[in-house]
Amino acid sequence: MLNRYHQEEAQAFIDSHPGMHPDLAMRVYTSRLIGCESELVLHGGGNTSVKATVDNLFGEPMEVLFIKGSGWDLATIEAAGFPGLDLAYLRRLRRLESLGDEEMVNQFRTHLLDASSPNPSIETLVHAFLPHRFIDHTHADAIVTLTNQPEADRLLREALGDKIGILPFIMPGFPLAKAMAELLERQPEMEYLILKNHGIFTFGDTGRQAYDRMIEAVSRAECYIATALTAQGSPRGRVMPAVDGAVVLPMLRGALALPGDLRPQRVCLHLRRTEAVLAQLARPDAETLFSTGVLTPDHVIRVKNHPLFLDCAAVTDEDALREMIANAVRAYGERYNRYFDEQVAARSGTYTRLDALPRVVLIPGLGIVGVGTSGKAAGVAADIAEHTLAAKIGAAAVGSYRELDAGLIFAMEYWSLEQAKLGKGKPLPLAGKAALVTGGGGAIAVGIGRQLLAAGARVFLTDIDAKRLAVVQQGLAARFGGERVSALVMDVTDAASVAAGMRQVIEAVGGLDILVPNAGIAHVATLAELDENRFRQVLEVNLVGVFQVIKAAVPIFKRQGTGGHVIINSSKNVFDPGAAFGAYSASKAGAHQLGKIAALELAGIGVRVNMINPDAVFDAEEVSSGLWDVIGPDRMRSRNLDPAGLKEYYRQRNLLKTEVLADHVGNAVVFFASEQTPTTGATLPVDGGIAAAFPR
């Protein structure tokens, strides 16, 4: 592993933060060096600290422990991510015979220097009880690989030398802190302290010394494993036929749908398909080796203890494949429930059963599939799984991988302090659902996308105009996060382009729940003057485009078996057309009629199809309306109005005398998608009340 410390860079960082305590600045600098290595820490794992002397309000010197706060990522941590605590008081806690977890956390909160600080790490007492100024702790893959072995002590000493201390796994908290302090007092010469099945602690009088020791220890472990892998050689892998993710992933996503109060709650999938992963899953011992438990108990709250291994390459019949996947998920749940029942029976206390779904699915010929209630959670699961596969291969080379005791796993999985990391709260109405919105570069798409995202959906915007699409995507990403909204350049009139776009959505999240055909163009001309080619062009986008995307979505909905939504952006013109607007009005009426047919045909698979009829949505903050860019000048000329006057004209012509906004259309989409009423085949006007456009 590369040592990234540079003295000049470290000093420059300290100098650039003159208001920060120099020791804390050094702590931030070396913590970021650790955090940028995924082989050391992964998604919040590990922690670092520094002990410093600062003046209190009375100007008196005070010993303070600055330690990583929960929720902060070491790769990007700032000084605010290191809450300061009264070190002298924390050290006094060592005199106690016992200290419960909740009371320990209470002591942390009541002895912070700043009450607004984040919660200190649950391993704060370890850092407080050890005497060193700088302490680094990671869950390094290479170290954990050596500890998950029947002969772990021997392997660790061969790899790292004699200046190490080794402890069996102990749950983080007061007992671990006391055990580590006592071991260090017995072995004051140690440079590395290994907690089996958990990770490594290094320490020093300076930030550089602690960091150098971390990199040195992990590098030694990596070299030791690499030597064993070279000596073993690569096993001949099976010849695996490619598995079609467009078929398998929606089926898997449907089988994994969480049961809800009234309807299944969707999950997001994250496909990790690299050459290395495919080769690993093609190993002859893949199922035996990779179906074992997690590398460290910390991972269990994100990925469960075991993955689901799904070898489905030989099954080509779709019905048989769907049944195989459903049975595999069902069997996994039954095993998890037996584990829960056995562990509860063996201990006192009351426990609330968590869901019994896998968080990692390994599919030879396809790759790693991470599972989560959000795209981010699914990505985290895939990251952990990718590291785990490589570590288990290394473990097999140096010895044999030994998974952790089920009791330890249960204690961590159902530990209140660990569960707190995941956060609680009522899920948003569209959490876990994937939505595709065509015409994504237009003003109405801004409102639809914004409201879908606010309701918890994962959103894909498509458009043929890459520049306008990028503007909308970037605007929404700035508010909701780039990982939640994607832009796909797609031509709704081209079946191949639509199929490619749908495949991208499937590979990104596993399937589709909400389809919003929203793409539309306009042309102003009387029937006598209407050019046939322009008429056909409008029909292609506004009518054929709706047909193409609905047709492409139907197989996905069927494979998932969890229903879905098609919500067509029609137009007030369906019921109240305008002169010189024949191409647009006819195409929208056709799309509207297609929606009604789709409602009849798709109800049997639980898919609801509804229409929204907006009127006069001019623009959004991010982008203008392409439709009004075309027809606006004609409307202003015919009424002798400027842009502001045109908006006022349309506001005054509806019954409610209100302006219709893109977000109003978005609200209507969310209303249908959140299934607040058992409705399909309906038309919802979003027009302020146009009597001539009342549905009838």
Q: What's the rounded Cα separation, in Å, for the pair 64 and 50? A: 8
Distance of CA 230 to the CA centre of its chain: 35
CB 572 within 8 A of CB 615: yes
The pairing of strands 47-55 and 61-67 is antiparallel
CB 686 within 8 A of CB 610: no
Closest by CA to 616, choosing from 663, 567, 571, 670, is 571
DSSP 8-class letter at 677? S
Closest by CA to 569, choosing from 612, 523, 621, is 612
CB 119 within 8 A of CB 70: yes
Q: What's the rounded Cα separation, in Å, for the pair 460 and 233? A: 44
- Choosing from 414, 584, 649, 650, the catalytic residue is 584
Half-sphere exposure of residue 281: CA atoms within 13 angstroms, side-chain side: 29
Q: What is the DSSP string of 57-74?
A: TTS-EEEEEEEPBTT--T
Q: Which residues pair with 309 in a beta bridge?
A: 362
Q: What is the DSSP string of 64-114?
A: EEEEPBTT--TTT--GGGS-EEEHHHHHHGGGSS---HHHHHHHHHHTBSS
Compute and round to an integer the Cα radius of gyration of the chain: 30
Spatial CB neighbours of 350, under 8 Å, sequence gap ≥ 6: none
650 is catalytic: no
CB 469 within 8 A of CB 440: yes
- Report CA-CA distances (Å) from 179 to 415, 485, 541: 20, 47, 70
DSSP 8-class letter at 172? T
Beta-strand runs (E) in 84-229? 84-86, 134-138, 164-167, 192-195, 199-204
Q: Which residues pair with 683 in a beta bridge?
A: 611
The pairing of strands 683-686 and 308-309 is unpaired
**Letter string b/e over residues 647-676, b meaning 16 or more CB atoms within 10 A of that residue's CB:** beebeeebeeeeebbbbbbbbbbbbbbbee
Q: What's the rounded Cα separation, in Å, for the pair 440 and 462? A: 5
Q: What's the rounded Cα separation, in Å, for the pair 423 and 154? A: 39
Closest by CA to 3, choosing from 286, 209, 204, is 209
Give me 623's structure tokens.
């982008």
The pairing of strands 514-516 and 485-489 is unpaired
> For residue 616, is it left (φ>0), alpha (ψ between -120 and 50) or beta?
left
DSSP 8-class letter at 148? S
CB 380 within 8 A of CB 301: no
Judged by DSSP in three states, 696 sits in coil
CB 197 within 8 A of CB 153: no
Q: What's the rounded Cα separation, in Å, for the pair 567 and 682? A: 10
| Lateral strand order in the sheet of 367-372 | 268-272, 367-372, 360-363, 308-309
What residues are annotated to the active site? 584
